[in-house]
Amino acid sequence: MSAEAADEPEQTVFQENRRVFVSLLKKSPLYVFGVVFVVLYLGYSAVAGLDPSITGFNPTHTNLAATLRPPSLHYPFGTDDVGRSLFLEVLYGAPIDAGVSLAIILFAFTVGVLSGSVAGYFGGAVDEVIMRITDIFLAFPGLVLAVAIAAALGPGLVNALIAVAVVWWPIYTRIARGETLSAKEHQYVLAAKAVGLSRTRIVLSHIIPNVTTPMIAYATADVGNVIILFSVLGYLGLGAQPPRVDLGRLVYDGQNYIQFAPWYPIIPGLVIFVIVIAFAFVGDLIRDFLDPKMRR
């Protein structure tokens, strides 16, 4: 077989994937908005995370002569109670929310897929132990448990990250277990058992790869939910501490001025809303992209 013939199937799969992706983008302009916004947001967050000075925001600088000014050409989002540009504060704080949220999703996804796959495939006592531990965490409302853990650990960015991560992984464990219970009955898993592969090998090479794919769409859309919970902790004063800034903290700082400077708390809240909606659109796009019906 020639090299050209060997490459042809790969090219065909790539072309089919590109066709499906482009058709989905043409189907809904909301998907286009979500992809463009998320790519720009994550790209900017990566750059600003490495070099915060790129935002042009100095958290220690104040300008009392420009306090609580409304949005204008010079101050697109207005100013806060000490004269700092809210636009620059949002640019400065957005990477913190992005970095923390992605770290939490990555942790929850990894722990959830591993524990859920093991519980679903091995069953028996292993399943009971893992799922009863999961049920203990799921028995408490996520927000209440996260606030309790963050309050016990103390205010701070790292402690808030730990609090949300502890709350978030059980959801992925339960989803992965359900996917595993379905996947373990498929022919390729039964064939692997028939040829004598160990259960550990089957979980690593067959179950986890097939469980991971449908969970990617959920995890992408779930980034927005993590941002909301992390912003709540920031609003309660349990997130990033000064001079660091996160969007939830900006809403909290501006709530006392909502009557005569409504832009102060509202604009950071709208930024959180747009970020959450954009990630939800991308999650829907990935879900549709992975749908086998789109390839018929």
Closest CA to 130 of 179, 184, 174: 174
| Helices (H), ranges, 28-141 | 29-50, 86-122, 124-138
168-214 tens-digit pLDDT: 999 999 999 999 988 888 888 888 888 888 888 888 888 888 888 88
C-alpha 296/C-alpha 291 separation (Å) is: 10
Secondary structure of residue 138 in the 3-state scheme: helix
Average pLDDT over residues 136-164: 92
Residue 241 DSSP class: -
CA dist 204 → 118, 131, 152, 200, 212 (Å): 9, 20, 37, 6, 11
The rounded mean pLDDT for the chain is 87
Closest CA to 168 of 211, 230, 120: 230
Q: Which amino acid is residue 24, in one-letter code?
A: L
C-alpha 291/C-alpha 61 separation (Å) is: 51
Is pLDDT at 8 greater than 70 in this prediction? Answer: no
Is pLDDT at 6 greater than 60 in this prediction? Answer: no
Are the C-beta atoms of 166 and 187 separated by less than 8 Å? no
Query: What kind and span of H or E run contains 221?
Result: helix 208-235
Total structural domains in the chain? 1
How much is the pTM?
A: 0.86
Q: What percent of the chain has pLDDT over 70?
A: 94
Q: Residues 136, 137, 141, CA angle at the centre, nearest 5°?
A: 115
Distance of CA 19 to the CA centre of its chain: 27
206-221 tens-digit pLDDT: 888 888 888 888 898 8
Q: How many CB atoms lie within 10 A of CB 261?
A: 20
Distance of CA 170 to the CA centre of its chain: 15
Is pLDDT at 125 greater than 80 in this prediction? Answer: yes
Is pLDDT at 65 greater than 60 in this prediction? Answer: yes
- Domain of 52, in residue numbers: 3-295
We report the CATH number of the domain holding residue 21 as 1.10.3720.10
212-247 tens-digit pLDDT: 888 888 898 898 899 999 999 999 989 888 888 888
